Each structure stands twice: as C-alpha cells, then as structure tokens.
Chain A
Amino acid sequence: MSTITADAQTRAGRRSVGYWARRIGSNYLVRKIIKAVFTVWFVTSLIFVLIRLMPSNPVEVYINELITQYSLTYSEARDQASALFAFDVDQPLLQQYTEYLGQLLHGNLGTSLRSPGTPVLDIIKAFLPWTIFSVGIGLLISFTLGVFLGMIMAYKRDAWWEAILSGLASMLSSIPSYIIGIVLLVFLGVYWELIPIHLMRGSHSPGVQIGFTVEFIKDIFYHASLPIATYVLATIGTWILSMKSSTMSTLGEDYVTVARARGLPESRITTAYVGRNAMLPLVTQLLISIGFVVGGSILIESIFVYQGIGFRLLESLNTRDYPLMQGIFLIITISVVVANLLADFVYGWFDPRVRVAGGD
C-alpha cells in the first residue's frame, strides 16, 4: 500500500518536473538567459584550449627571460623556474580543464602565475575600472556627439559644410583605431611636441591621492584624455553616418509630414517624431558597443601605456600567464553576452512595436 502511494507520488513528482521544465523552456526570458550562459561556457572552453595551443608556455617564457636577463644556463634557469611556478605544464589537459571549471563554479579565477599568490580577480579589479572609465567616457562622448551631428547634417544636407563633414566622417570610420592612436602620438607628442606624452602615461600620476577630489578627477581625465580622444575619433564617424542616414529616412516618413500638417512646433517634431524614431536602430548598436567597453582596446592602451585591462591582457599574453588571460577573457565574454541580452530586452522600451506580448 505504502509502496503504491510512494510510486504515485514519484510519478506525480516526475510529471510536475517535466511540466515545469516545459513551462520554463517556453519563457522568452529564461530561454535567452540559458542561451547566454551556454555561450559564456562555450567561449570560456574555447579560450581555455586556444591559449594552450599558442606556441610556448609560461615556464618556457620565464626560462627564456632568465637566460637572456641573467645569462643562466638552460638547466639552471629551468630549476629556478620550476621552483617558482606552482604549475605543472605536463598535467593532462582534461584534468586542467575540469579543475579550472570546478574552481570557476566556486567563483575562483585562480592566481596569476607571474605575480605568484595574487588572485586573478584582484588584478582584474585593479585594472578594469580604468578601462571602463576611459572607454565608457569615450563611447558616451562619441555617441552623443555623433547622434547630434548626424541629425544636424541630415537636416542641413544641402549646406556646403555638410559634404565636408560627411567625407570626414566616412574617412574616420574607415581608419582603424590604433592608426588614429599612433598618428595622435606621433604628431601631437613627438613632431609638434604639443603634449607631454611622457607625463600622460599610466592611468594616474604617481603621487596623486586616490579619492573623490577635484585634483584626482582632473588627474585621471588628464591621463585618459589621449585614449578617450582616440576612441571618440575612431567611432564617431560610424555614429554620424548611421544617425544621418537614419534621420534622413525618418524625415521622409508620412508621420513627419502629418505632424507638420497638424501644426506641431518644429522642436517637438525634431525630438519626439524625428529624433526618437531615427535613434531606434542606433539603440541596439549602442547597447552592443557597451559590451565591448570592457574589452577595451588592447592596442590603444599599449600605445598610450594606459594601465587598463587591455594593457594587462597584452602583458599576460606575452608571459603566457594562463589563469590571468582566462580571467580577463571571461570578463570580456560575460560583458559582451550580457550587453546583447540587455539589448534584446531593453529595445522594447524604445520601440513599442517589438514589445514582447504580455509586456504591457
């Protein structure tokens, strides 16, 4: 009797599990999140394998350094290196992988190989804010200015200066950011000596007190100004061109003509009728760009010796510091995936036509 009841109970339990699985699986939000988590896992695994496929390994790199720096023999250098590294390169890959994933699930990104004992998370915490600050400000300036200019240019597309700005914008959008960075550095810093580049290195001046003081904020903007200028110049062209073409097609929409016929003030038409609709395609673009903020720009940060996460990534790449590379790549992956996820959900706020059913 009791076995039968227990049996029925488990069956009911099994049914409800299947029911809930279906229920959850059919939910848009849950489906998206599951997909995002899968993407992060997949990319993480891929990176795990890829960085180990690169020639050489952390120990080799260190041995070579010791040989060139201290003119040690190979065996001496190897002894020293293996004493320093708590890392066995010859461990089977699968074992390394399962260990890594296991630690990851506990929120442990491991410790850096080249700065023994320093948790990867601490390094990321120290370097990431600078990148978010500089790239974020750059993106903000570039987007705001680009949208503003693009819109004005669409309105004044018969003006002589519009053609010049348009040409400039398409030129800027086609030059890679590192070229812009190098050009800024070489001309402003070296040839014309307009800016003291040696003083602008790093993310802040050595002696400055960290805190919410005017002096500190002025200092960090001073140090970030060249990277920010580079980001703005490298991305503003695209924003200008997108906004211009988007505004131009919106201006041709019937509802704009009707709004004029309704006698609406031009200011209202420009903002709520033209501007808001023209911005729609750019919103997604912006949200996705925010994901790349964290990734920053490895090359720009190296060119200006700006102590951001990209700068650190390049360093870890050169020394084959596996745990640090994995950690940084993980953060980049997560931010890109989350930004995409956000773009999917937030777009509905801006465009009622794509709002998910039942959302309003």
Chain B
Amino acid sequence: MQTMNSTSQQNQAPPLSIRNLWVEYSVERGLVKAVRGVNLDLRPEESLALIGESGCGKTTLALALIRLLVKAATITQGTITYRRDGQELDILSLNSRELRRFRWRECAMVFQSALNAFNPVLRIRDQIYDTARAHGVTSREETHQRALGLLEHVQLDPKRVINAYPHELSGGMRQRVLLAMSLLLDPQVLILDEPTTALDILTQRTIIDLLRRLKAELGFSMMFISHDLATAAELADRVATMYAGNIVELGSVADIFYHPTHPYTLGLIRAVPTVTGDFEELVSIPGSPPDLIDPPSGCKFHPRCTYATERCRVEEPKLEPVLGIGHTVACFHHDLVEQDTESLAKNHSHTTRKNTL
C-alpha cells in the first residue's frame, strides 16, 4: 500500500518544476550570482527541505518561485512551471495580474519573520479578509467561518485571535496565525522560509508538530528552508543541500543524513551535534562561504574541501545518481566521501562499544 502510494505519487506530474534557474543581484561591486542553474522538482504532497549556510541562495530561490524578488534581482535564465489539475502555468511569463492571482491561492509562503508579517494597524480578521477578497472571495461571513476553523486548527483561541491586533499576539502565535492564513485559500504548494528560526524551542516543537499534522490532513506540497538540520530531519521526505547558489546533493532524508556523499553535506552534518548521534566530534567546515560575485573556478566548494583535486579546480561537477533511490550528488569524489562516512560511522560505533565495555 505504502509503496503503491509512493509510486503513484511519483508518476503524477510534480506541481512545481524548476529548470536551469539563474538569479542575479546587481550591486555596486558587480553581479551576485545568487542562484546558478538550479534544477528541482517539488513532488505532489511531498515535503522537501532546502538546507545550506546563510547566503547560499535558499531564500532567493524561494522568493523566485513566487517572483517576489527585490528590484535589484533579476531572473536571467530558466523556467519555473506550475501544474494543477493537468494544466501548466509558466510562472516567469505571468503578467502582474496573473501573478497576483497565483500568489497565495496556488503557492503560499510563510516567512521567517512572522513578528512583522502583519500590518500593525489592522485587526487579524481584516487582514484575513483582505487576503480572501484579493482572490475573489467576497463573503465576509464565509471567510470568517473558514478563518475561525483554521485558527482552531493551529491551536489558537480563534475568537480572541481573530479580533486581535498583531501586537497583542506573541511571536509564536503570530507565526501560527500566518500559517493559518497561508492555508486560507487551500494552496497546493506551501513554501516556508525558516519557519521556526525566530521561535523558542518549545514553540518550535509545536510548529513542527502542527506542520506535520496539517500536511497529513490537507495534502499540500511543502518546500521549506532551514539551516536547522534537526527540523529538516523531522519534517522532510527529501532533502536538497544548496551551496553557492546551486543544489549539490539531493536525496531522501535517510540517504542524506545517513549516507551523505557530498563533502559539504557531510560537513554540515558533522557540524551539528544531535541529528543522528553517530559522529562524536563536532567538526566545523573550514573557510567561509564563497564570494558569489567572483565565485571560485570549477567546483565552488573546492577551496574548503579536503577531497579537492586538480580536476575540482577546473571542472564543475554535475548532479549524477549515486546509490539510493533518486539520490544525486555533484561531486567527483563521492565514492571517497561515502567510504569515509561509512568508516567514520563504524569507528564511532566501535569506540562507543569499547567505551561501554
């Protein structure tokens, strides 16, 4: 049943396909190549995590999907295709009116800073009604009832919250209100940009549980950005590692966390204590994120990579399949990385066994 379900999902066309997407910011010093040729599919009802350091292009990629980039940014190449009920929509060629309709109704986005996500001078109910009316729902009563239901769904006291002004709600409450509002028009795709970063650990917990439950109930596709690997491990079906504006590794959550084959993914995992508990020592990645105005030649990670060879300096690796279903990596030395991962894991379990003895 489970397998049948997953194959049927895979056969269905993905709601969102990104092909060879390039985004550049023009700044005084030159062009910042924030997203460099990303290829990515968001499958139906899946949860995809986008991980990577700050400044690697995660948020830029997400904003490009609803074309909400700042003025200084331009999408120079590529296509974004959105599909619903067998119809295709070329996002990059939508006019402003079509784009406005597409946003939130088809693809809603929950922002990192929910603290300031609401207009301070309007009550929550008016902001919810604004959203509904912008998409052709004119019945105040209908919107009100639906909003009450959604607020209850995100475990808030609906009657109090709906009549409140934003400043009367706590950060966690605002994040949940935004989440409820994002589901108002029943979107097919939900993008979450660091949904838990600004919150305390207990509120984070609530939000994660909530997202899981909502996704199971409502069946939207979810793409979320996180630099918190624990969140990614808990919420994601698939994980994409992003480095210097491109995806360097993509695979199921188990493959990425237990069998990382890109040195950068491995580095990320080793820099965090409690994802799998397999590696004892915390090791940080040497060096700093690359300059995206004048990126290094070849593989963008080579200056910080212990596996780097002459080939890495000259040639940029493409994503290619490795062991594991749908697991792809952009590294010439993924075999070596994999070997090391295995041996590290073995060593570690060996030492722990010795210690306990």
Contact = CB atoms under 8 A, between A and B. Distances in A.
A253 interface: yes
A263 B167 contact: no
Contacts of A259: 119, 130
Contacts of A272: 119, 122, 130
A333 B176 CA distance: 50
Given A261-B103, A263-B131, A277 B68 contact: no
Contacts of A353: 120, 165, 167
A105 interface: no
A352 B134 contact: no
Nearest to B99: A263
B105 A263 contact: yes
Contact of A261 (B96, B104, B116): B104
B258 interface: no
Contacts of A255: 116-120
A258 interface: yes
B166 to A, nearest CB: 8
A352 B168 CA distance: 10
A347 to B, nearest CB: 12
B57 to A, nearest CB: 18
Contacts of B165: 352-353
Nearest to A252: B70
Contacts of A262: 103-104, 108, 130-131, 134, 181
Most chain B CB atoms below 10 A, which of A259, A262, A277, A350:
A262
B311 interface: no
B113 A263 contact: no
Most chain A CB atoms below 10 A, which of B103, B109, B115, B130:
B130
Contacts of B100: 263-265
A258 B109 CA distance: 8
A249 to B, nearest CB: 12
A140 B116 CA distance: 33
Interface string B167-200: 1000000000010010000000000000000000
A268 interface: yes
Contacts of B115: 254
A254 B66 CA distance: 16
Interface residues of A, number: 23
Most chain A CB atoms below 10 A, which of B108, B115, B116, B135:
B116
Given A268-B130, A272-B130, A261 B66 contact: yes
Nearest to A253: B116
Contact of A263 (B116, B122, B134, B178): B134
B212 interface: no
Interface in A36-63: none
Contacts of B103: 260-263
Contact of A350 (B66, B118, B121): B121
A148 interface: no
Contacts of A276: 119, 121
Most chain A CB atoms below 10 A, which of B105, B109, B119:
B119
Interface in A300-356: 350-353
Contact of B134 (A254, A265, A351): A265
A264 B121 contact: no
Interface in A234-283: 253-255, 257-266, 268, 272-273, 276-277, 280
A280 B181 CA distance: 26
Interface in A13-38: none
A258 B111 contact: yes
B84 interface: no
B111 A351 contact: no
Contacts of A265: 100, 134
B68 A261 contact: yes
A268 B119 CA distance: 12
A257 B131 contact: no
A265 B119 CA distance: 15
Contact of A352 (B102, B130, B167): B167
A350 B121 CA distance: 7
B111 A277 contact: no
Nearest to A353: B167
Contacts of A266: 96
A258 to B, nearest CB: 5
A331 B178 CA distance: 51
A252 to B, nearest CB: 10
Nearest to A259: B119
Contacts of B102: 263
Contacts of B135: 263
A277 B121 CA distance: 7
Contact of B68 (A260, A268, A352): A260
A352 B121 contact: yes
B213 interface: no
B205 interface: no
A276 B126 CA distance: 14
Most chain B CB atoms below 10 A, which of A255, A351, A353:
A255
B101 interface: yes
Contacts of B120: 255, 277, 351-353
Contacts of B131: 262-264
A255 B116 CA distance: 6
Nearest to B106: A263
Contacts of B181: 262
Contacts of B105: 263
Contact of A268 (B96, B121, B134): B134
Most chain B CB atoms below 10 A, which of A273, A280, A350:
A273
Contacts of B68: 257, 260-261
A257 B120 CA distance: 14
A114 to B, nearest CB: 52
Nearest to B185: A263
A254 B100 CA distance: 18
26 contacts: A254-B117, A255-B117, A255-B118, A255-B119, A258-B111, A258-B117, A258-B118, A258-B178, A261-B68, A261-B108, A261-B111, A262-B103, A262-B104, A262-B108, A263-B102, A264-B100, A266-B96, A268-B134, A272-B119, A276-B119, A276-B121, A277-B119, A350-B121, A352-B120, A352-B167, A353-B167
Interface of A: 253-255, 257-266, 268, 272-273, 276-277, 280, 350-353
Given A260-B103, A352-B121, 5 more contacts: A257-B111, A258-B117, A263-B103, A353-B165, A353-B167
* Cβ-closest 6 pairs across A and B: A254-B116, A263-B103, A263-B104, A352-B165, A258-B117, A264-B134
